[in-house]
Chain A
Amino acid sequence: MSKQIISTNFDKADAHKLEVYEKLGGYRSLEKVFKMKPEEIIDHVKKSGLRGRGGAGFSAGMKWGFVPKSIDKPKYLCVNADEGEPGTFKDRKILQLDPHSMIEGIITCSYAVGIHTTYIYIRGEYTKPRIRTQAAIDEAYAKGYLGRNILGSGFDLDVIVHRGAGAYICGEETGLIESLEGKKGEPRAKPPYPAVIGVFGCPTVVNNVETLSALPFIMNEGWEAYARLGTEKSTGTMLFSISGSVERPGVYEGEFGVNLWDFIERSTGGVRGGRKLKAVIPGGSSAAILTAEEAGSTNLDYESLAAAGSMVGSGAIMVLGEDDCVVKALRVIARFYAHESCGQCPQCREGTYFISELAERLESGHGDQSDIEKILDTCPMMMGVTVCVLADSIAIPARSYIEKFRHEFDEHVKQKRCPYDSARAPAVA
């Protein structure tokens, strides 16, 4: 199997406990961290090439660098553990199986940016991960890794777990910030970016759980060791959540730059039941779909997937087999975005609803050709015009599903029913 950095502890018994984590080499990076100057750490992380694993793939070191150095306000780190992008389930693993690696990363980031308070925003449904995370924080305080004068460094840090309450949009960084402030999670117009004005009107770094969990390796082994992995612009490894019609769904860590389908097949054993591959959605439900052929000829890294018209996103790979229905897939994700739109932008509120209705009609066999055209006409009106990119997140996949699988949409219209209708099959494990 390929290089493991973030998931090395997943199969170690009780790695969520401090004692075990320490035995596995945990918290070792802090000694080095506290000997470095904050700017040196930011530089180090920049050079590693580490990019955000929450979806946008922005350079972590650069983001930290945007936070004003001298400012008479507190600064905050918000850890994004809202994990709501359909198909994504890797942060749950980190929180539950290896929470200390994230805490170690939090300490590094906070020290580098001059942050003394971190909030971990965990989605409301994640009860067990939240309990594990809180227990890990308590242990870290007791052992002097958190609190006042950490390991005699003179650096103070408090880490607070904040529970979400069910809203996908709170995963968007400014929605998260609004929610943390005790409001509806309605995203803010940017700029200003959170690095300048974030939570409580103060400079704020928002990073995904996995992004932070990569830091102990980068600090221990050096940025060169990290940058050597993967490709030039997609360095290191990422946790890929692979689900859908595969034999062994799960979270698999992979080095960037490998062939996409090859990686999926090696990790999961390929399409369930030996069926043929139909399509791959590589980066969460916001990503454009790839045909089987494209999945076989595209590499798994930021640049290759962008060149193929899709994205790495949150690393959520969903696989469709030959008898899975693309129209149904569109119906299901369109309904998701319609349900999760916060409603402040009319193009998003109306557009998501409209596409969802049309897709539903098409899938049930009640649609006609004009419904397909209506979806295609709606998509461009939703792109690049809203406060956040949720609207784009349905427009992009919707268009790609139709463009690449037009015949399936046409068949639904012609046959006046779903030609696959796997809905009648019994549940399988």
Chain B
Amino acid sequence: MSEQVEERTGEPFAFNEETERKFQETLGKYPTKMAVLLPALWLAQEQNGYLTDAILEYVAERLELSPVHVYAVVEFYTMYHRTPPGRYHIQLCRTLSCTLCRMEGIERHLAAKHGLHPGEKTDDGMFSLELVECLGSCGTAPVMRVNDVYCENLTLEKVDKIIESCKAGTQLEEDPMQPH
């Protein structure tokens, strides 16, 4: 069997000043360094957009953890990106309540009209689409999350507006949360 050596990804990495400050603050909140791993990965991802091998090794070193542990943890969770997502990363919910509210119609529309397909990124790097499990917003299904913003009660028209807003670079706003 021939051994396949994958190339290690990423430029040399270090936290910038702002991230370093947050990192130091976080260290004080936990009794072990290992517990800082998830927060540190979030900080790294906020700074860089995704997590390269170089970043994982940097984080491992900062927290005195074995790189193997860090790789395994990152692999386990779905929200850490190992490759650059689109500028707008869309998570469309596919679980039961959204299905009962016809999320397939939204999925087909994203593909047919906007060329967005699950697991793919558009050539211009603007959008990536991921089908995800229940987003905890089943009362306003169908739902998708665009970067940090929940877009609820989706209709085809609403989806078009959201995509246009992204293209125009306007900040998306969440609908005000209803009491029910």
Contacts and interface: CB of A to CB of B under 8 A. Distances in A.
Contacts of B76: 167, 184-185, 342
A125 interface: yes
Given A86-B134, A97-B177, A251-B139, A166 B79 contact: yes
Contact of A425 (B37, B38, B102, B140): B102
A414 interface: no
Contacts of A252: 180
A286 to B, nearest CB: 12
Interface string A64-101: 00000000001000000001111111011100110000
Q: Can you list the 3 inter-chain pairs with the closest CB atoms, starting with the nearest?
A: A250-B180, A427-B105, A166-B78
B169 interface: no
Contacts of A185: 76-77
Given A182-B32, A427-B156, 8 more contacts: A86-B95, A93-B177, A124-B79, A126-B136, A166-B77, A182-B65, A182-B73, A285-B95
B111 interface: no
B102 A427 contact: yes
A177 to B, nearest CB: 11
A398 interface: no
Interface string A163-207: 111111000000000011111110000000000000010000000
B178 A244 contact: no
A387 interface: no
B38 A163 contact: yes
Interface of A: 7, 10-11, 74, 83-89, 91-93, 96-97, 123-128, 160, 162-168, 179-185, 200, 241-245, 248-252, 281, 285, 316, 318-320, 324, 328-329, 332-333, 335-336, 339-340, 342, 422-423, 425-429
B38 A429 contact: no
A123 B142 CA distance: 19
Interface of B: 29-39, 41-42, 63, 65, 69, 72-73, 76-80, 91, 94-97, 99-106, 109, 132-142, 145, 148-150, 153-156, 174, 177-180
Most buried by A among B72, B96, B137: B96
B133 A92 contact: no
B59 to A, nearest CB: 11
A182 B136 contact: no
Nearest to B152: A429
A340 B78 CA distance: 10
Contacts of B31: 74, 200
Given A163-B39, A167-B76, A320 B138 contact: no
A375 B180 CA distance: 37
Given A86-B138, A160-B29, A318-B100, A165 B95 contact: no
Contact of A250 (B34, B77, B79, B139): B139
